[in-house]
Structure 1
Amino acid sequence: MRIPARYNGPPDTANGGYACGTFAKLAADHQRPPVAVTLLVAPRLEHALEFRPGARRSQIWDGDRLIATMTTATAEFAAVEAVSLRAAAEASGRYRGRAGHPFPTCFVCGVNREPADGFPVAPGEVPGVPGTVACPWTPTAALSDRPELVWSVLDCPGGWTADPVREPMVLTRMTAVLHRPPRPSAPHVVVARRWRRQGRTATVGTALYDDRGELVAKATAMWTVVCVREPADGREQGDLDEVE
């Protein structure tokens, strides 16, 4: 399998949610859902990856390097509470990624992507609710029926519950539960909350609601702080060789 270049997070590696959703779909016949995906190394784009199924744990390999593992999630988790579509729209106006985004070409939340080529997801702080961000999202028909893309939408908002402009983080573990596909062309709300922070890692929850306030999907994830360096060509690149 290969992850297409379109679905990047950092410039040269996959968006974490897209990768996790893709790997979870591969493991669905071997691991009882919900599937927990752990990213050990950021998956490279347009590069041959090998799926190795297992009864208790499936794996993704890049040559002789273990990239990710998939297991059945053992702990249940609650959905982050909904906010109104109006509150989400107001919160989106406070999106910090519009200035100093660490990965501005990210497929989901990047500010240097055309709306037709990525997701215009711009989660901003919800006043009076600490560690919580939200934004509207309207899926197209082409994007609404692919589970890995719903995982993608549930990914990035969790990273913005902190301040990735000051302290860039990447997704290292994710579990998602999809109750039904989002409705094409209908407004939805994505809301994320930071549940706890320990050292370099943060645990977050993310949820997707429709315009009637009904839960469409939920996720829990772990994010890990990384370094961002600026190469000679001026592009920002995450130091993602190893994440723990």
Structure 2
Amino acid sequence: MPLPDLTVPRRFCGPPSSGNGGWSAGALAAYVDGPAVAVSLLAPPPLDAPMTVGAEGDGVVASQDGRPVLRAEPFPGDLAVVAWVPVEEARGAQASYAGLESHPFPTCFSCGTGRDDGLRIFPGRVADQEGGARVAATWTPDASVAETLAATTWAALDCVGGWAGDLEERLMVLARMTARVDLLPEVGAEHVVVGLGRRTEGRKTFTASALYDADGRLLGSAEHLWIAVDPAAFS
């Protein structure tokens, strides 16, 4: 039986003309069985345009006009653990969010400063973890994301990683995201999102993130691979 098409609604953009990487990855991850799923972003996800989804091995590929855009597959390994930050500390860190001064994609559904209808996750610096830079913010899911909560949770776990990396120094886009969401966040409740910078290798930056409830219970974890790109590509 054919799999249903995947469409990224315009609300869930990252850059103005393409899907937020985390939301798009999370939407495709729903087609794959397994507690953890790895999604590679092969091209900018189109907005308001259906992508054909087909099986590939034990995973799936979303394509537009025959061109692969996203590939998802089960991930059998463990994910990095990013330590919890208390709600009050995460809330206070938001004032130091670097994106308030300069933001490469203010339209971003997850972390954009120009989006009243976005998640408005604004992570600021907190104490390092084992030498890695760490950022944290609070997030309260509202009723408008209740029907897309799984993909939206991936979006919440997405950009916080980039801000823990070197997004302030160079423009990066998400190339691969691996996530495990054991419990979906509660709509209307305050949560904590934490990001961790892990390492940089040439154009590649590796980060991790975690989503906690207000009591410090881990709901989901993610790891990311980011690729530095020429800003002219988005001008």
So what's the TM-score if we normalise by structure 2?
0.91
Pick aligned residue for 1:224 from 207, 210, 227: 227
- Structure 1, unpaired ranges of 5+: 230-236, 240-244
The aligned residue for residue 164 of structure 1 is 167
Q: CA RMSD in A?
A: 1.7
AA matched with 1:88: A
Residue pair 2:166, 2:205 contacting (<8 A) in 1 also: no
SS at match of 1:149: helix
The aligned residue for residue 46 of structure 2 is 44
Give the Å deviation of 1:56.
Answer: 2.4
Pick aligned residue for 2:17 from 7, 12, 24: 12
The aligned residue for residue 3 of structure 2 is none
Number of aligned residue pairs: 227
Superposed counterparts of 1:124-143, under 5 Å: 124-129=124-129, 130-143=132-145
Give the Å deviation of 1:238.
Answer: 2.8
Cα deviation 1:47-68 (Å, max 9, x = unaligned): 2211011342321111121112
- Structure 2, unpaired ranges of 5+: 1-5
SS at match of 2:164: coil
SS at match of 1:131: strand
- C-alpha change, 1:86 and 1:173, in structure 2 (3 Å) is same
SS at match of 1:21: helix
Give the Å deviation of 1:208.
Answer: 0.6
- Rounded to whole Å, the distance in 1 between the matches of 2:202 and 2:80 is 23
AA matched with 2:199: R
- Rounded to whole Å, the distance in 2 between the matches of 1:206 and 1:216 is 11
Q: Higher helix fraction: Structure 1 or Structure 2?
A: 2
Residue pair 1:144, 1:150 contacting (<8 A) in 2 also: no
- TM superposition outliers: structure 1 runs of 4+ over 4 Å: none
% identical aligned pairs: 35
Is 2:201 the counterpart of 1:198?
A: yes
- Rounded to whole Å, the distance in 1 between the matches of 2:144 and 2:105 is 24
- Rounded to whole Å, the distance in 2 between the matches of 1:12 and 1:166 is 23
The aligned residue for residue 234 of structure 1 is none
Residue pair 1:139, 1:186 contacting (<8 A) in 2 also: yes
Superposed counterparts of 1:1-244, under 5 Å: 1-28=6-33, 32-114=34-116, 117-129=117-129, 130-144=132-146, 146-229=149-232, 238=234
Cα deviation 1:38-91 (Å, max 9, x = unaligned): 111111111221101134232111112111211111321132110111111121
So what's the TM-score if we normalise by structure 1?
0.87
SS at match of 2:231: strand
- Rounded to whole Å, the distance in 1 between the matches of 2:28 and 2:44 is 13
- Rounded to whole Å, the distance in 2 between the matches of 1:76 and 1:208 is 16
